[in-house]
Amino acid sequence: MRREMGEHMVSAVILAAGESSRLGRPKQLVQFDGTTLIARAIETALASRCRDVTVVIGAHAEIIRPEAARYNVRIVDNAAWKEGKSSSIRAAISVASDRAAGILFMTCDQPYLTTEILDELITAFESSNDAPVACGYGGTVGIPAIIPRRLFPQLRELRSDDGARAILQAVRDEVIPVAWADGSLDIDSVEDVRQLTGDR
């Protein structure tokens, strides 16, 4: 589906299975800048140097799937979404390409994410000697982040709401950061949406 990248081929995974309980409606379908947040995330990933794109859905799957299905992406249903982020990560790992040197994990609630940031992560990963690469913001590192294949076993061991950040913290001395100040701006609440869209 995407261009080859030799030994450092990276697949993107958009984690979009959450219930959005704080918001009270699916954040994936929040409208921003003429499109939904999930469509925006998918388009950003597809325009990047990632080899392929997988979207993991769970809660509200029946209304989120049609939005994701408009694109040339793999859609994975996570029936265990109530367990938390770890279940979506395990679902993504189960369908990952054997040729992927790493997986770039991202969500759809960071509205200012750009293709340029994703490509910066990939470029850093290509010269990282198989180290994890993550965005740096708010005094920490987090997603979007590329987890190398050698750490997939640790991803499979995640439970509950632990996500990629748990792995990054466990190997924090190895992580290569890519600065992205807007990474700390995510959408979780009604107030977040109001500030993003100006709606009242």
The model's pTM is 0.94
Residue 185 burial (10 A CB sphere; 0-12, 13-18, 19+): middle
Q: How far apart are alpha carbons 151 and 192 in whole angstroms?
A: 33
User: What kind of fold does domain 6-197 have according to CATH?
Assistant: Spore Coat Polysaccharide Biosynthesis Protein SpsA; Chain A (3.90.550)
Q: Please write the tens of the pLDDT for every residue from 33-74.
A: 999 999 999 999 999 999 999 999 999 999 999 999 999 999
Q: Please write the tens of the pLDDT for every residue from 152-181.
A: 999 999 999 889 889 999 999 999 999 999
Is pLDDT of 86 > 90?
Answer: yes
Domain ranges of the chain: 6-197
Strand, helix or coil for residue 131: coil
